[in-house]
Amino acid sequence: MNDLDYMKLALALAERGRGWTSPNPMVGAVIVKEGRVIGRGWHHRCGQAHAEREALAGCTESPAGATLYVTLEPCCHQGRQPPCTRAILEAGIARVVVGSGDPNPLVAGKGIAQLRENGVEVTEHVLEEECRRLNFIFFHYIPKKRPYVALKYAMTLDGKIAACTGVSRWITGEAARAHVHQLRHQYRGILAGVGTVLADDPQLTCRLPEGRSPVRVVCDTRLRTPVTAQVVRTAGEVPTLLATCCGEEERWVPYQAAGCEILRLPEREGHVDLGALLDELGRREVDGLLIEGGGALAWSALEQGLVQRVYAYVAPMLLGGAGAKTPVEGKGFPAPAQAVRLGAWEVTRLGGDLLLESEVVPGVYGNH
């Protein structure tokens, strides 16, 4: 095995932390001595041991003189955990192979420099693209201090998210609906408009046996969410934020009594200012946000250039109907030349449905 093989193993280990490490990145580490893997580890949860320290603690023999493979530059500062560079130096590691640098200003090359200054050989940029892709949310959140925003919807082949009667259950099959819960586990927050709450009364939770439900955020400018809605009734179990422009504090009381937190935010063109909402979520360490509905909210986010990724579940059916709802409503862009552009699609078959996944191309209309 060579450097690429061991880094692939470290990436596979890092993947085990998906959905649990937020706002920290997923990181995997492998320690190799004389051609044998003697230690391996990954970052399990925010606040717990980093991958390098777990790999060192689990070594089957002394790591002195060994090579450490790690998907992200080792930290060199005191945070929730002590610096990994210190542990590496104390263990006598001779060589460190790094996948990608750490964008955190507290690290950002300083970890690698510290290792080199202390006589450790460092090889950089091994499977760097794959390591960065693993933590696309982290690499967005750290410099911008705003969540990475993904828009998710399910539609028919003719672009409808519901029939002309408003009925939407079920457009996609079981496999696609199960995959949605993987996304909810992966993203730290989930956002829906009050229209979706009124129409569908969703739970907006992750129902994977070993999954974590995201922080639920309802965009409700005039505070119309029923106190009987599932998101309100279960607010004591899953963190729930109501983002509103309503300043009548007496109206907040029943929601607060149920366990909801009210976020009073400024208004923008008659709706909650989404930029202000993202700023607040960023301060709360919500690093990734999944928008699940509805069409008006999707349009607002796209028009303001707030969306970084799209997940489109497409079912092999045609509904028709001039009045049937589409994934993105609003006034629309005036011409194709001004549309939000997407990169190459990643296509995944989920039962009889397809998942189309793509990142928004930076620099187009309204996109930051």
Going by the DSSP 8-state scheme, the letter that residue 361 receives in this structure is: P
Q: Answer whether residue 258 shows pLDDT above 80.
A: yes
pLDDT tens sequence across 260-315: 999 999 999 899 999 999 999 999 999 999 999 889 999 999 999 999 999 999 99
| Mean pLDDT along residues 155-170 | 92
State whether 191 and 315 are in the same domain: yes
| Mean pLDDT along residues 46-57 | 94
| Mean pLDDT along residues 249-259 | 97
Catalytic residue among 15, 52, 249, 292: 52
Looking at residue 50, which CATH number applies to its domain? 3.40.140.10
| Mean pLDDT along residues 49-60 | 95
State whether 121 and 175 are in the same domain: no
257 inside domain: yes
- Number of structural domains (the chain) is 2
State whether 76 and 203 are in the same domain: no
Domain closes at, from 89, 110, 138: 138
DSSP string, 30-91: EEEETTEEEEEEE--STTS--HHHHHHHT-SS--TT-EEEEEEPPP-S-SSS--HHHHHHHH
Task: Tell me the C-alpha distance between 36 and 285, whole Å.
Answer: 39
* Alpha helices per DSSP H over the chain: 3-15, 51-57, 84-91, 110-117, 128-134, 136-144, 174-186, 194-200, 230-233, 249-258, 274-283, 295-303
- What pLDDT does residue 304 have? 94
Token pair listed for 335? 């011409």
366 inside domain: no
CB contact at 8 A, 6 and 30: yes
CB contact at 8 A, 366 and 340: yes
Average pLDDT of the chain is 95
| Mean pLDDT along residues 26-32 | 98
23 inside domain: yes
- Cα–chain center distance at 351: 24
Residue 357 annotated in active site: no
State whether 197 and 332 are in the same domain: yes
- What pLDDT does residue 367 have? 45
pLDDT tens sequence across 61-83: 999 999 999 999 999 977 777 89
Domain that includes residue 24, residue range: 3-138
| Mean pLDDT along residues 18-26 | 95
Looking at residue 179, which CATH number applies to its domain? 3.40.430.10
Question: Alpha carbon of 154 to those of 86, 89, 140, 220, 352: distances in Å?
Answer: 48, 50, 25, 22, 13
pLDDT tens sequence across 106-158: 888 899 999 999 999 999 999 999 999 999 999 999 999 999 999 999 999 99
Q: Answer whether residue 366 shows pLDDT above 60.
A: no
CA triplet 262, 309, 106: central angle to 5 degrees? 75
State whether 110 and 45 are in the same domain: yes
365 inside domain: no
State whether 265 and 199 are in the same domain: yes
